[in-house]
Amino acid sequence: DAGITQSPRHKVTETGTPVTLRCHQTENHRYMYWYRQDPGHGLRLIHYSYGVKDTDKGEVSDGYSVSRSKTEDFLLTLESATSSQTSVYFCAITPDLNQPQHFGDGTRLSIL
């Protein structure tokens, strides 16, 4: 399996608080992605990165920001968490756009 670690694995927090999720890879892959997955919606792209300090928005980026200061780490921040951001968050990596993506174990986030 690809070396991807997501942290934390589970988190419960309150509305209005900031939350940061971390994705760490040991594969030196260029591309990194953050998805959320909700029942009935499948995987939806939040943000992605195509290199250090190079990021762009995905389909559902409102309320989220990202940073990639080094190749191995891609951080997702919920600036002020809302209950609609309760979801399962997956990080994925790939070395090349024509190669498949490999996923971390996911983070289950509950906003109360």
Give residues in contact with other proteins (CB under 8 A).
Answer: 31, 33, 40-43, 45, 48, 50, 56, 58, 88, 90, 97-106
* Beta carbon nearer to other proteins, 74 or 103: 103
Minimal distance in Å, beta carbon 25 to other proteins? 14
* Beta carbon nearer to other proteins, 24 or 102: 102
- The single-letter code of the amino acid at 103 is F
72 and 5 Cβ atoms separated by less than 8 Å: no
SS3 83: helix
Minimal distance in Å, beta carbon 16 to other proteins? 27
Minimal distance in Å, beta carbon 85 to other proteins? 18
Q: What is d(CA 112, CA 82) in angstroms, rounded to the nearest whole number?
A: 8
Q: Exposure of 81 by Cβ count < 10 A (0-12 exposed, 13-18 middle, 19+ buried)?
A: buried
Q: What is d(CA 6, CA 27) in angstroms, rounded to the nearest whole number?
A: 14
* Beta carbon nearer to other proteins, 16 or 40: 40
* Beta carbon nearer to other proteins, 48 or 64: 48
